[in-house]
Amino acid sequence: MGEITACNVTNDIFAMNVPEISGILIFLAIKTDTPIEIAEGILKGIKFFMEKKINSKVLGGHTIYCEWPLMGGEASGFINKEKIIQKRGVKAGDKLILTKPIGIQGVMAAYRILKDMPEILETYSIKELKESIELAIKVMTTPNQGVVKVIHSYDDFSFIHAMSDITGFGLAGHAKEMIMDVALSIIIERVPYIKLAKELSDELGYAFSECECHETAGGMLLSVQSERAEEFSNALNSAGISNWIVGTITRDFHGVVKIDENAELLEIDKI
């Protein structure tokens, strides 16, 4: 949970094209009867992520007692304002590149169900469920910093018009944020998802088909000039970053994110 927390917080900074995080201030709320090793474990996870995964550090923070466990923080970094990539700025014809598969909500629901009511999932292979859970955890603890480093390997990256990380609003929700206040829309043509996430989401009542399932510490969504999309995708691949061209910015259906009726569904079992 500590690693997931740090990843989720710092991804907000990476989503603005900031290549390095100067540090994090932790916020942690725990119940009065929370075992001390749990609180310590969360803090150790945050520290491990910051120091070992993104070469940053914990600067301090604040801890309170609360009936609900709450984990978060404030991260910061520095970048020349001319190099910031904003959430808006998409152009007609752009291709959308996604760097992590979706499906966290359904898979992690299965994680909870396996502990409390495993009979609900008796039609599934326990081995495959655990493999999907491990992949979901890897997704949530893999920083998006590598994407930013690939961007900064270009002297001129103006072909990347907009960028956002995918978290609580899901793929469709964050995609829609990218077209607010412009007469453009998005067609999702390919959906990479964590193995079993579609079946679990459909069975458990999550909005997978609309790409509205909630994600945590998900991938980066980039709106890239069409002529440079394949090249940039290959650059990400060369850096060991999984990615898929998932959609197109279009002038049709103004202001909406539309899932193509023939969208390709890609079941992903590793990143």
> Residue 11 and residue 72: Cα distance in Å, rounded?
12
CATH of the domain at 124: 3.90.650.10
CA angle 247, 252, 257 (to 5 degrees): 45
What DSSP element (H or E) covers 45? helix 36-48
pLDDT for 60 equals 96
Burial readout 6-28 (b: 16 or more C-beta within 10 A, e: otherwise):
bbbbbbbbbbbbbbbbeebebbb
Q: For helices 104-116 and 197-204, what crossing angle results, to 10°?
A: 70
Helices (H), 75-225: 104-116, 126-140, 145-151, 170-177, 197-204
Among residues 22, 53, 83, the one where a domain terminates is: 83
Same-domain pairing of 72 and 152: no
> Quick one: pLDDT band at residue 33, thresholds 50, 70, 90?
very high
pLDDT digits (tens, 9 = 90+) for 228-240: 999 999 999 999 9
* Domain assignment of residue 33, given as a range: 2-83
CATH of the domain at 72: 3.30.1330.10
| Count of domains observed in the chain | 2
Q: Where does a domain end: 83, 115, 145? A: 83
Same domain, yes or no: 101 and 225:
yes
Amino acid 5: pLDDT:
98
* Tens-place pLDDT, residues 133-151: 999 999 999 999 999 999 9
pTM score of the predicted model:
0.95
User: 122 and 232 in one domain?
Assistant: yes
- pLDDT band of residue 252 (cuts 50, 70, 90) is confident
Task: Evaluate whether residue 89 is within a structural domain.
Answer: no
Predicted pLDDT at 173: 96
pLDDT over threshold 90, residue 62: yes
In contact, 166 and 225? CB cutoff 8 Å: no
